[in-house]
Amino acid sequence: MDIAFSDRFLNMLKTARSVVVSTGAGVSAESGVPTFRGADGLWKKFRPEELATFEAFQANPQIVWEWYQYRREIIHKIKPNPGHYAIVRMPEYFESFDLITQNVDGLHRAAGSLDVIELHGNIMRNKCVACGGLSDDLEFAQFPPICKCGGRLRPDVVWFGEMLPADALERAEKASASCDIFFSVGTSGVVQPAAGLAYMARRGGAFVVEINLEPTELTYISDEHFGGKSGEILPAILEKIKSVRSRSLTKS
């Protein structure tokens, strides 16, 4: 894809030591995972407070589980797209690289990214509300499913009103506050604390690059906005990185 690169951005790509890529639902849209907001977004058809809170789960685990099993089925069938694959190659070119995602679909890892900071958990994992035990069964003898300890199982995702995993958030904040380039990819930038990472990067002096089909809450703090599909723009950026940098000697 032919996209225009500003001199400032090119210069940053040449000289940056540390890079953070932070992704949202948009990076998986071209794989066929529905986003939450926007024209075909899940929150147009479903009410988040009825499906994505612990209170809703306690009141009606059956309905909440059915919704998650429906989304698991979609995710089970789909594959990473060129955007995910471009991100897999980026760490080779920088001394420091962190990938942060709000997505629960596991597609970054399926593509081959190592060490993904998952802020909102993983939809393919189950967690017991009583003993905290994790498991990865997708089919259950009993539904809604129960843990060996007798406690109720839930999907290991972060619901509205819940805390993010502390270690993941801490790593994400540290990386964002100290990076040279921060990419915000396919996120509407309205859900906190994830959205705050871009502001942190900005305050830390990073060059902020946004890739999104449309302008968002984060556009006005971005140094560069690429309007288009992440599955096309990320591979173009990777090609540019390859042409202006050699592979980092610190990586094998």
- Shorter beta-carbon distance to ligand OAD: residue 145 or 155: 155
- Shorter beta-carbon distance to ligand OAD: residue 84 or 229: 229
The one catalytic residue among 76, 84, 108, 120: 120
Distance CA 155, CA 68 (A): 7
Q: What is the CA radius of gyration of the chain?
A: 19
| Contact flag: residue 40 with ligand OAD (CB under 6 A) | no
Q: Which of 1, 10, 131, 134 binds Zn ion (CB under 5 A)?
A: 131
Q: Which stretch binds Zn ion (CB under 5 A): 3-11, 46-54, 108-116, 124-132?
A: 124-132
CB 197 within 8 A of CB 176: yes
| Contact flag: residue 29 with ligand OAD (CB under 6 A) | yes
CB 83 within 8 A of CB 27: yes
**Given strand 134-135, what is the order of strands in its sheet?**
134-135, 121-128, 153-157
- Shorter beta-carbon distance to ligand OAD: residue 37 or 245: 37
By CB atoms closer than 10 A (0-12, 13-18, 19+), residue 228 is middle
Distance CA 59, CA 146 (A): 16
Distance CA 89, CA 234 (A): 11
Partner residues linked to 184 by β-bridges: 22, 210
Q: Which of 56, 158, 198, 208 binds ligand OAD (CB under 6 A)?
A: 158
How, if at all, do strands 96-101 and 224-227 pair? unpaired
Site string for ligand OAD, 196-215 (x = CB under 6 A): ---------------xxxx-
Write out the binding residues for ligand OAD, residues 68-127 only, by CB under 6 A: 102, 120
What number of other Cβ atoms are within 10 A of residue 42's Cβ?
Answer: 18
- CB 119, min distance to ligand OAD, A: 8
CB 188 within 8 A of CB 28: no
Q: Which of 51, 87, 147, 195 binds Zn ion (CB under 5 A)?
A: 147
Q: Which stretch binds ligand OAD (CB under 6 A): 67-75, 134-142, 185-193, 198-206?
A: 185-193
> Is residue 108 flagged as an active site residue?
no
| Contact flag: residue 133 with Zn ion (CB under 5 A) | yes
Residues that bind ligand OAD (CB under 6 A): 24-26, 29-30, 35-38, 41, 48, 52, 102, 120, 158, 186-188, 191, 211-214, 216, 229-231
